[in-house]
Every structure is written in structure tokens, then in C-alpha cells.
Amino acid sequence: MMNKGRIIIDTTKYSDNFSEDSFWKKIKKFGKKAGVKVVYVALLLYYTLQKPTTPVWAKTVIIGALGYFILPIDLIPDLVPGGYTDDFSGLFGALITVSMFIDEEVKLNAKERIGIWFGESAISDTDSVDDKLNKKTDQDEQDKDEDK
């Protein structure tokens, strides 16, 4: 599906591909190639999925996006240059959809893993993702205030 020149991926049909074991195997095997931002977004989703307070609908969105990420053959094969572009799009779309459930604890857990796998200096590479999340959260708060 296209949206203003962007590819929008319906990830919900990929939920059968998700398992914790497959997720961690994918991260360990391809994390460096995928890059800090892709792994960070995947970790944010993973840790949000683990929260008991995350509602079922949000967990469904997350499982679908992580299932798409795990799938070895997707819109753009992961082994070609730029092969994680579609994965990032699917993951980030899910991230924005469930952003209201991503708290500081989730971010800290994800950044801790990024620091372990990519080195402490890589943690600053997560700032652009956090900035977009913060803008989304701020916009959601503003929309709530306007609805009152």
C-alpha cells in the first residue's frame, strides 16, 4: 500500500512468524547489519509487548510488526543493500501506533541492550527515534486537550 510516496505495510498478517526465540535469533544474527535504529525500534516494541499493562490490541500490532521483522523473505530481502528499509517502516509504523504505551523503563531497557551490542557511543543514535516518539506523544496530549 502507498501513502504519499511511502510504503505502508500491513504487518498484522505476520503475527504467526513471531516467537521470542526467533526474535532474539534474528537480532543476534542480523542486528549489526540492520543497524542501531532498526534494532532499537524492535527492542522498544519487544519490551512494550512484555508489559502486562499493554492492551491486547497493541500487543497484536507489535506481534505483527515483529513477525514481519523476523520473516526472512519480505518486500525488500534483508540480504540486499537497503534490505532493512521495509522492516524499519513496518516496525516504526507499529511503534507510532503503540507509542502511548512506551515509557521510560522500556526506553532504558532497549538502550541498555543497544549499549551492550553496539557500544555505549551508539546509544546517541537512538535520539532521533526518541525525538519522533516524543513529538507523537506531545501531539497526542495536545489532541486530548482539544477534545475536552
Give the type of residue at 148.
K
Q: What is the pLDDT of residue 135?
A: 83
- Give the range with max mean pLDDT: 1-15, 58-72, 83-97, 100-114: 100-114
pLDDT at 33: 83
Inform me whether the pLDDT recorded for 100 exceeds 90.
yes
Most confident of 2-11, 96-105, 129-138: 96-105
Q: Are 36 and 126 in contact (CB under 8 A)?
A: yes
pTM for the model: 0.78
Answer yes or no: is pLDDT of 71 > 60: yes
Contacts of 102 (CB under 8 A, 6+ apart): 44, 48, 95, 133
Pairwise CA distance, residues 129 & 45, whole Å: 12
The pLDDT of 10-34, averaged and rounded, is 79
Query: Predicted confidence band at 79 (pLDDT cuts at 50, 70, 90)?
Result: very low
Q: Are 88 and 94 in contact (CB under 8 A)?
A: no
pLDDT of 15 strictly over 60: yes
Query: Does the pLDDT at position 75 exceed 90?
Result: no
d(CA 134, CA 148): 22
**How many C-beta neighbours within 10 Å does residue 85 have?**
15
Residue that wins the pLDDT comparison between 43 and 77: 43
Is the pLDDT higher at 15 or at 38? 38
- Report the C-alpha gap between 70 and 50 in whole angstroms: 17
> What is the reported pLDDT for 69?
86
**Mean pLDDT computed over 35-61:** 95
Q: How far apart are CA 111 and CA 14, in angstroms?
A: 26
pLDDT at res. 80:
45
Question: Alpha-carbon distance 102 to 110, whole Å?
Answer: 11
Contact criterion met (CB below 8 Å) for 58 and 103: no
